[in-house]
Amino acid sequence: MVLANINRAVGPPWNVWSDQNDSLSQRDVGMLQVYCESNQEVFDTVLHSFWVSEQLMLPTMLVLDAFYLSHTCEIVEVMEPDEARAYLPPYEPKHFLSPDHPTAFGNLTAPDSYYELRYQIDRDLRRGIELMRQADQRFEEVFGRSYGIIEEYRTEDADLLVVTSGTITGTARVVIDECRDAGKRVGLVKMRLFRPFPADDVCRILRPAKKVAVIDRNIGFSIGGIFAQEIRAALFSAGIHLPVFGFIAGIGGRDVTPDTIHEIVDQTEHMDAPDQEVYWIGVKHEQLHHTR
């Protein structure tokens, strides 16, 4: 099963624009999660996701930003049905509802069995890292397009790595190019696969840098951006001591412009280490109401 989730802000208050709190609040339900940057990537990821989900027997949530992708038009290259079938053969489920072999699905499961079933979900979901990598590689062999489970953009010799997900990545590429033109050693890391969390890949890619700036279009209230949290945990577990700056931007559809990302790069460059767990970029302080 593949579920396409269009990232929309959650209430309160009511807002129909984009942020990731809806999907990230579901990060621990046992689904894979893939965050997409463009409509072509969304289309291609549908095929990747079915290929992986059908093997793991776990559902995939592919995630795309509201409005930036869901309400805009982009040209998408669509393959012939035969080509798609060659990549994704017809699915033969192992388990299905049939009067020929009566089975109860999803029934009450007591502590003596529930624990093991949840263990199996954890074990199987972890296999999704390699399967998603293979799905992408197979796709490249057939269709010539590849995204990786994490994409590195101009990360060679970078002192500062900016980490993004979703459509903010497209804007960040432009900023990285401008920074490189100005002689700054800045690179970009796009998180595509979020569940299962590719901790080894994250550590391998970030280890050579001196600083990391994570841009989260989401907020784990009182603890900071959710991508930043998980990246910090992965680095810490691997014994890698890197300053990770957590930036919140774009929540509820607030525009994230090249200037926003330049501000993030500049702030990170001018500090040795973060002095706060999280930096909210562009808060209009004059609009804030004071709590009693």
Partner 1 sequence: MSNCIIPDRELMSSGHLGCQGCGAGHAMRFALKGLGPKSILVMPACCWSVIDGPFPHSSLGVPLFHTAFETAGSTASGIKAGLVMRGDTETEVVAWAGDGGTFDIGLQALSGAAERNEDIIYVCYDNEAYMNTGIQRSGATPAGAWTTTTPTAHPKEHPKKKMLDILVAHSIPYATTTSIAYPEDMVAKFKKVRKIRGTRFVHIFAPCPTGWKTAPEYTIELARLATESHLFPLLEVYDGERWEIAKPQRVRSVADYVKLQGRFRHLKDEDIEKMQKEVDENWERLLAKESLNSIKKH
Cβ 83 to partner 1 shortest distance, Å: 23
* Least separation in angstroms between CB 88 and partner 1: 17
Omega cis (within 30) before 12: yes
**Cα(19)–Cα(191) distance, rounded to whole angstroms?**
15
Do residues 74 and 153 make contact, with C-beta atoms less than 8 angstroms apart? Answer: no
Here's the x/- map for partner 1, 102-131, by CB under 8 A: it reads as xxxxxxxxx--x------------------
Select from 7-15, 51-59, 67-75, 98-106 the region that touches partner 1 (CB under 8 A).
98-106
Report how far residue 167's alpha carbon sits from residue 60's, in angstroms, rounded to the nearest whole number: 20
Sorted by sequence, the CB contacts under 8 Å of residue 186 that are 6+ apart come out as 154, 158, 159, 160, 161, 162, 176, 179, 180, 265
- Closest approach, Cβ 78 to partner 1, in A, equals 23
Torsion of CA 133, 212, 203, 187, to 10 degrees: 50
Using a 10 angstrom Cβ sphere, with 0-12 exposed, 13-18 middle and 19 or more buried, the burial of residue 18 is: buried
Nearer to partner 1, 107 or 291 (CB): 107
CB of 269 to partner 1, least distance (A): 50
Pick from 16, 97, 233, 283 the residue near partner 1 by CB under 8 A: 97
Measured from the CB atom, is 3 or 79 closer to partner 1? Answer: 3
Q: Is the Cβ of residue 12 or residue 106 nearer to partner 1 in the bound state?
A: 106
Near partner 1 by CB under 8 A: residue from 12, 73, 98, 157: 98
Minimum CB–partner distance for residue 117 and partner 1 (Å): 8
Which among 50-58, 99-107, 173-181, 242-250 is the span making contact with partner 1, rule CB under 8 A?
99-107
Binding-site member from 99, 144, 183, 239 for partner 1 (CB under 8 A): 99
- Distance between CA 256 and CA 281 in Å, rounded? 10
Distance between CA atoms of residues 65 and 83, nearest Å: 28
Q: Does 90 bind partner 1 (CB under 8 A)?
A: no
Q: DSSP assignment of 248-266, as one string?
A: E--GGG----HHHHHHHHH
CA dist 40 and 81 (Å) reads 16
Should residue 91 be labelled a site residue for partner 1 when binding is judged by CB under 8 A?
no
Rounded to a whole number of angstroms, the minimum distance from the CB of residue 124 to partner 1 is 18
Q: How far is the CB of 118 from partner 1 (least distance, A)?
A: 13
Interacting residues toward partner 1 by CB under 8 A: 97-99, 101-110, 113
